[in-house]
Each structure stands twice: as structure tokens, then as C-alpha cells.
Amino acid sequence: MANQVAILLSASSGDEIILDDKSHTFNYEAGGAAFNAGVQTRTLKSDHGLLDPSEIEAAIRPPGNYHLPRTALICLENTHNLWGGRIVPLQNMEAIRSVARKHGIRVHLDGARIFNASVASGVPVKKYAACADTVMFCLSKGLCAPIGSILLGSKGDIVRAVKLRKMLGGAMRQVGIIAAAGIVALEEMVDRLAEDHENARKLAEGFASLHGLSVNLEYVDTNIVIVNTSPELPPAIKIEEALREHGILALALGPRFMRFVTHHDVNSQDVDRTLSIMRKIITSL
Ligand SMILES: Cc1ncc(COP(=O)(O)O)c(C=O)c1O
């Protein structure tokens, strides 16, 4: 919802928005950008989550030609979900911001896990946020609130966003009870994210040592581990099902491609148990 509202704030029907072809907004928001804002998406391939500022610049439509759509928005994602929780470096975001400013185009940051990026990199969230006109982040996920995402922007943007949210059916009354958990998330759960990152690294290294599984360890920056399974193993969905029988929840994202996420309720012993069960599963399936 927050990303959709952000798109509506910056783009109108017939406009074009630029985003990574592996971004959450492009892949997992049910085509909402087209449905809600009537925009077309111009996807670019990133280098493991990093969009190339010069490729973005080349994709921006020149003004003044009535055949062309107007490029209205560049969407960034940090950390990058499908690229395994990779942190997009601040310098990359700053370079994209410069391109956007040069062409008068707005930037939205899908920072669902921006606190993970900040804790792992030491870069303050506000520095990442300064690269964008609007930012969303999730109070759920690693920050542990049961529900909730926040949209940040200028005062004018937020006044419009509240109205857009209402029109999209996302407004709630009696929301204080939920907001209370969000305050705990921000006050008590941010520093704790480092534990999730440590557990993810341990999990990733353990998986990488198992025959038939591979993990690109270079990009395990935060709390997500993407595991590739070799063709000699059963499809990832079968592994997902077998793990679930042991109470371990992971997600098959493709036939040979799974996602594991560490969080508050996963500790180092759970990682050991997951590795030992995974070893048994892949030798018995
Ligand atoms: C990168 C990313 N962006 C956005 C979201 C969703 O945010 P919301 O449910 O608030 O729309 C998620 C996960 O659900 C995500 O992984």
C-alpha cells in the first residue's frame, strides 16, 4: 500500500516509472502501479540490486516529444529483497539522486528493510532517506511489530497521501493500538537487527557447505539468505514442504531458488537445527 501511494503521489496516468526488474514493487504488488496510477513500468536490470545511474539517465524520456511518456519517478529498494537482503550502498543512491535532480524526476525509496541496511552498514537511515522524496519502511519484518508500514515525505505529500490511502480503502480508525507496537518496534528493535544478520550469515555459510546448495555469500549483508538448489535435488517447493513438516518456514521463489529470513524468533540454536534438518532432507528426498 505505501509504495502504491508513493507512486500515486509522483506519477499520473500515462506516465512512466523506472525500477529494477527484481524490485518488490514490480514483482509483488499485483501490478498495482498500472491499476492504481495507470503508469507503465520501465524495468532495468540491476547488478545484484544496484541500478546503474547512467543506465537510468539513458532511460529517462526527453521532454517535448508528444510520442513519449513522461518519466515521473525512479523507485529504489534498500535492502533488496530478491537480491538476498543486499545493501544498496549510499554512494549508488546518491548518484541516482543526482541524475533524478538533473532531470527533475522524483525518487521513491522502498525501504521496507532500511533499518537492516543502516544497522549493518553504519549509515544513518536519514542519509539513505535524503536520497529520496518519499520513503516507506515496514514496522513489521525484522522490527517485529505485528503490522504496519510508514510512508515518509514532505508535509504536502503526506497530506495528499492520507487522502489517497482513504480512497484506496486503506484507512483505519482505532489505530492507536497498532501504533503502540510500532513505537516498541522503533525504540527497542532496531539495534537487535544485528543478531538477525549474524544468524543469517551463519545460516548462509552452513547452507553453502552442503552438497547441492549454493549461496552467494558476498551479498548476504543482512537477514535474508537466498539459496540456489542444484538440478540433482527435488524442486525447491518440495524442500520447502519438507522443512515445514519440521516447523521451519522458508519460501520457494522458483524451481531452484529459496529464501530464508532470520528474525527475532530465530536464534543461533534454531540455525543449527535448520542446517542439520536441511542436511537430512537433501540426502533423503
Ligand atoms: C521490499 C518490500 N517492499 C514492500 C513490502 C510490502 O510492504 P507493504 O505490505 O507495507 O505494502 C515488502 C514485503 O512485504 C517488501 O519486501
pLDDT at 285 over 90: no
- Which residue minimizes the CA distance to atom 11 of ligand 1? 1
pLDDT digits (tens, 9 = 90+) for 208-217: 999 999 999 9
Q: In three state form, how does the secondary structure of 228-271 look?
A: EECCCCCCHHHHHHHHHHCCCCCEEEECCEEEEECCCCCCHHHH
pLDDT at 192 over 90: yes
More confident residue, 285 or 205: 205
- In angstroms, the CA 222 to CA 273 distance is 20
- In angstroms, the CA 253 to CA 246 distance is 20
pLDDT digits (tens, 9 = 90+) for 23-53: 999 999 999 999 999 999 999 999 999 999 9
- Which residue minimizes the CA distance to atom 12 of ligand 1? 112
pLDDT at 237 over 80: yes
Cell 511518456 identifies what position?
69
- In angstroms, the CA 165 to CA 145 distance is 20
User: Residues near ligand 1 with C-beta < 6 Å?
Assistant: 1-3, 24, 77, 81, 110, 112, 138, 149
pLDDT at position 284, please? Answer: 85
Find residue 243's DSSP bridge partners: none
| pLDDT (average), residues 7-29 | 98
- From 8, 24, 36, 136, give the residue whose CB has the most ligand 1 atoms within 8 Å, as the site to mutate: 24
| pLDDT (average), residues 149-175 | 96
Closest CA to 9 of 138, 189, 140, 132: 132
- From 138, 152, 165, 253, give the residue whose CB has the most ligand 1 atoms within 8 Å, as the site to mutate: 138
How far away, in angstroms, is 22 Cα from ligand 1 center? 13
* Cis peptide upstream of residue 79 (ω within 30 degrees of 0): yes
Residues 238, 255: contact at Cβ < 8 Å?
no
pLDDT at position 178, please? Answer: 92
Residues in the chain: 285
- Which residue minimizes the CA distance to atom 10 of ligand 1? 149
Percent pLDDT > 90 in the chain is 97
* Mean pLDDT estimate for the chain: 97
Closest CA to 106 of 81, 74, 60: 74
pLDDT at position 185, please? Answer: 97
